[in-house]
Amino acid sequence: MEFLKLDIAMNSFLKNLQDREKKLLLGALILTFLFVIFIYINSLYDGYITSKKNLGKAKSDYEYVYKKVSSLKLSSDKYVINEANINLIITANDLAGLISDLSIDKTDETVLVVFKAKDASSAITLSENIINKTELQINKINYKNFNDSIGVILEFNF
């Protein structure tokens, strides 16, 4: 009942307004609506900027951790040069029948790894794996072609 009275009072109020007042009232409603939309879009934009900053921070944190873990992983994959570790490399690369006469000579400043391989590809494969999986710096690589095999000398510095 009261709602009906309010509706009637509002209709009579609107009917009694002049054309200019109706236009002003409509303009005020449109401006209010646009203001509400502006506030909503502004809050969305602020949320977007905050999310973008958080994404940048999370990305840089991830890259930092990834670099640290990858460097740690690389250092943990490095071997000390000894016959057992080289034999593990030979077995892991299926070079067991292709490599012979493996020897390691250590001096105060260098380590020499000497072996013979049946073909050039097995000599190169084993040489690359030894070089990549050791913590020492390679100084010199010698390949000598014999009639039935390839002689390899790898010299590392401490």
Range with lowest mean pLDDT among 25-34, 64-73, 133-142: 64-73
Query: Quick one: pLDDT band at residue 20, thresholds 50, 70, 90?
Result: confident
| Residues 85-137: tens digit of each pLDDT | 888 889 888 888 899 999 999 888 889 999 999 999 999 999 998 888 887 88
Range with lowest mean pLDDT among 53-57, 59-63, 72-76: 72-76
Phi, psi of 12 (to 5 degrees): -65, -35
Query: Measured between alpha carbons, how far is 111 from 157 in angstroms, rounded to an integer?
Result: 7
pTM value?
0.52
Write down the H helix ranges in the chain: 2-16, 19-76, 83-92, 120-132
Other CB atoms closer than 10 Å to residue 104's CB: what's the count? 16
Regarding whether 106 and 70 lie in a shared domain, the answer is: no
Both tokens of 155, joined, read: 């010299």
Regarding whether 28 and 53 lie in a shared domain, the answer is: yes
Calculate the CA 4 to chain-centre distance: 67
Per-residue pLDDT at 31 = 96
Question: Of all residues in the chain, what percent carry a pLDDT higher than 90?
Answer: 49
> 106: domain range?
83-157
Regarding whether 93 and 65 lie in a shared domain, the answer is: no
Q: What is the number of domains present in the chain?
A: 2
Which of 75, 110, 140 finishes a domain? 75
Which of 17, 48, 75 finishes a domain? 75
Judge whether residue 30 has pLDDT over 60: yes
